[in-house]
Structure 1
Amino acid sequence: MLKLAAVLIALTCLATPVSADDEHLSVFVSVPPQKTFVERIGGNHVEVTALLQPESNPHTYEPTPRFVEALAAADLFMPIGMPFEAALMNRLRAANPTMAIVDARKGLSLRPLDKHVHEAAMDARGHQDHEDHAADDEHHDTDENALDPHVWTSPPLVATMATTIRDELTRLDPDHAADYAANLDVFVAELHALDAAIRADLAPLAGSAFMVYHPAWGYFAETYGLIQIPIEHEGKSPGPRTLSALIDRARAAGIQVILVEPQFSPRAAEQVARAIGGRVATVDPLTPDYIANLRQVAHTIAAAARP
């Protein structure tokens, strides 16, 4: 169980404290929506901490040593494929070799991150213009084959994740198995209702595109038959030719709203919006209020497509 004193000391700087009740399971997750999912299944039998806070930039986030110490004392960690997790794993396994680590994406079909229209910015010889190339130089170490970690933007995938959460909590705490099973049933019913509502909103838009700054909505787009067009890709800001190609593509697709996240600068998105006579709208995939947030994202996309 918990090394309670170490956890309480290490978490004094965090938004989510560990309970003084050592009967609770201590669960760490990577992003705030996951925290919501585990709390919905675990109820008052769990204390959950998200590593990445809603205001944090996932490209630059790195947990502090104090945070790693707290994580190493937990009962369960459920990573989800965020960039910061790879460096964390070795430290975590060294600190607590027996800790339960379960990939939250277990059983899910994963997709690559969507790329911006890099290819459209190539000249006839297949070379980027100098300014576009220079804009990307500092990111050469980025994995071009990176998988998209934002699986939680698809309610059907979250339903599968919720079952994994139920199974792991039951394995660690079989005395409360009935509670975990009942909570799962309620949560999955809400996810099904959310999925049905989003499908009703977006069905008329099947096959159409929406533009985002950061490619966080790929699973959402795939689930609901849409096409996500990102401006940024793997931390890369577009150079002039790529930006021009994005503007042309937005015009051709009739895009009027560009979705931006509060964790990133909206400057490039605002440039595109001005060029197409559109606007930017802020949506946050890291918001803990998952169901209300997904409904709002669907409404924003649907409203932008109406004449």
Structure 2
Amino acid sequence: MKPYLYLLFALLLTACGSKPKAEDKKPAITVSIEPLRHFAEAIAGDRFRIVSLVPEGSSPETYDPTPQQMVALNQSRAFLRAGYIGYELTWTDKLKQNAPDVPFFNLSEGITLINETKEEAHAHHGGVEPHTWNSVRNAYTISANICQALCQIDPEHKEEYMTRFTRLGTSLKQTDEKILACLEKGEKSFLIYHPALSYFARDYGLTQISIEEGGKEPSPAQLKALINRCREQHVQVVFVQKEFDTRNAEMIAQELDVPIVTINPLSYRWEEEMLHVARALSEPAKQP
């Protein structure tokens, strides 16, 4: 046998004999997006490996799960979904058929939803504003639903999950207090390309103005009206997201002479992102 064949054979033996990581041995729970992974990990601790279907940087409105993810979901102990995200509504029936023994949990249960009218719709499926997790108050309800789901599928460790949920609730209260402190002297209106902060705005009495019109780019006449409205509302900051075109936002920000701030409503670092939004509203002049 040639030397390079010996090496190849040895490498194959090593790969086959390698031990799986301890993390891989844990039972998995699948969540639909990264912010839910943040809450689920805080409550599950080391009991489960939390896996997100939509990787950070992808749009959950149009995402298609891969065949590998479909197989992995069938091996999960549960699927925790945000509730009304585009791909969830499109794929839920198929996912359930593929994983008939996996319980599905809607984490938006108990949340007072924002229903979009035809005039306000931004191409969200089902007419419901889906970004429920971008709110401290909603985050508490979402976390409570996660805790309940974990207690249901693993009742043996119920006390652990309840303890961690209580701890998370304390942290959420502290985050809410920090946001309130930031917004005490901040601006009450802001412009955003895609209306991902509707529940955040509702929590704190803010006005969210969206550049999108029915999920489409605004016309020149709509842009002019938008700029006038922003002036009337004293908008001091424009929020943009990496997954959307920023040209109109940049043009409006230049016209208004206000800063553009990039946010990530789908970030795993949920608390950091919520505080980032609050600070941008409280100190717009200091933003790059």
Q: TM-score, normalised by structure 1?
A: 0.80
- Select the residue among 145, 157, 163 that pairs with 2:138: 157
Determine the C-alpha separation between the residues in 2 that align with 1:143 and 1:287. Answer: 20
For 1:246-257, what aligned pairs fall within 5 Å after superposition? 246-257=226-237
For 1:89-128, what aligned pairs fall within 5 Å after superposition? 89-113=92-116
Determine the C-alpha separation between the residues in 1 that align with 2:108 and 2:268. Answer: 18
Q: Counterpart of 2:238 in 1: which secondary structure? A: strand
Contact (CA 8 Å) 1:57, 1:264: kept in 2 or not? no
Determine the C-alpha separation between the residues in 1 that align with 2:193 and 2:172. Answer: 26
Query: Structure 1 residue 200: deviation in Å?
Result: 1.8
Amino acid at match of 1:34: L
Change (3 A) 1:50 1:114: farther
Determine the C-alpha separation between the residues in 2 that align with 1:35 and 1:234. Answer: 30
Aligned partner of 1:271 in structure 2 is: 251
Query: Structure 1 residue 177: deviation in Å?
Result: 1.2
- Select the residue among 163, 183, 189 that pairs with 2:164: 183
Change (3 A) 1:231 1:284: same
Q: Alignment RMSD, CA only?
A: 2.4
Aligned partner of 1:195 in structure 2 is: 176
Amino acid at match of 1:183: R
- Select the residue among 29, 36, 40 that pairs with 1:27: 29
For 1:168-247, what aligned pairs fall within 5 Å after superposition? 168-205=149-186, 208-233=188-213, 235-247=215-227
Q: Which one is further off, 182-191 or 106-115?
A: 106-115
Residue by residue, what CA displacement relative to the aligned partner does 1:16-60 show, whole Å, maximum 9, x if unpaired? Answer: x99432xx3421111111000000000000111112222112333
Determine the C-alpha separation between the residues in 2 that align with 1:111 and 1:233. Answer: 17
Determine the C-alpha separation between the residues in 2 that align with 1:304 and 1:114. Answer: 31
Identity %: 30
Contact (CA 8 Å) 2:140, 2:169: kept in 1 or not? yes
Determine the C-alpha separation between the residues in 2 that align with 1:39 and 1:304. Answer: 33
Change (3 A) 1:183 1:225: same
2:143 counterpart of 1:167: no
Change (3 A) 1:153 1:179: same
Determine the C-alpha separation between the residues in 2 that align with 1:111 and 1:18. Answer: 42
- Select the residue among 48, 51, 57 that pairs with 2:50: 48
Aligned partner of 2:64 in structure 1 is: 62
Q: Counterpart of 2:30 in 1: which secondary structure? A: strand
Determine the C-alpha separation between the residues in 1 that align with 2:33 and 2:22. Answer: 17
Amino acid at match of 2:49: E
Query: Structure 1 residue 296: deviation in Å?
Result: 1.3
For 1:116-155, what aligned pairs fall within 5 Å after superposition? 142=123, 146-155=127-136
Q: Counterpart of 1:44 in 2: which secondary structure? A: coil
Query: Structure 1 residue 114: deviation in Å?
Result: 8.6
Q: Counterpart of 1:210 in 2: which secondary structure? A: strand
Contact (CA 8 Å) 1:209, 1:228: kept in 2 or not? yes
* Aligned residues between the structures: 265
Amino acid at match of 1:265: D
Q: Counterpart of 2:149 in 1: which secondary structure? A: helix
Amino acid at match of 1:82: I
Q: Counterpart of 2:79 in 1: which secondary structure? A: strand
Determine the C-alpha separation between the residues in 2 that align with 1:201 and 1:115. Answer: 34
Determine the C-alpha separation between the residues in 2 that align with 1:233 and 1:29. Answer: 30
Contact (CA 8 Å) 1:114, 1:228: kept in 2 or not? no
Contact (CA 8 Å) 1:52, 1:61: kept in 2 or not? yes
Contact (CA 8 Å) 2:40, 2:50: kept in 1 or not? yes
Higher Rg of the two aligned structures: 2
- Select the residue among 78, 86, 106 that pairs with 1:83: 86
The runs of 5 or more residues in structure 1 that have no matched partner are 1-16, 119-138
Query: Structure 1 residue 106: deviation in Å?
Result: 1.1
Aligned partner of 2:274 in structure 1 is: 294
Contact (CA 8 Å) 2:186, 2:283: kept in 1 or not? no
Residue by residue, what CA displacement relative to the aligned partner does 1:112-153 show, whole Å, maximum 9, x if unpaired? Answer: 3599889xxxxxxxxxxxxxxxxxxxx9xx468621111111
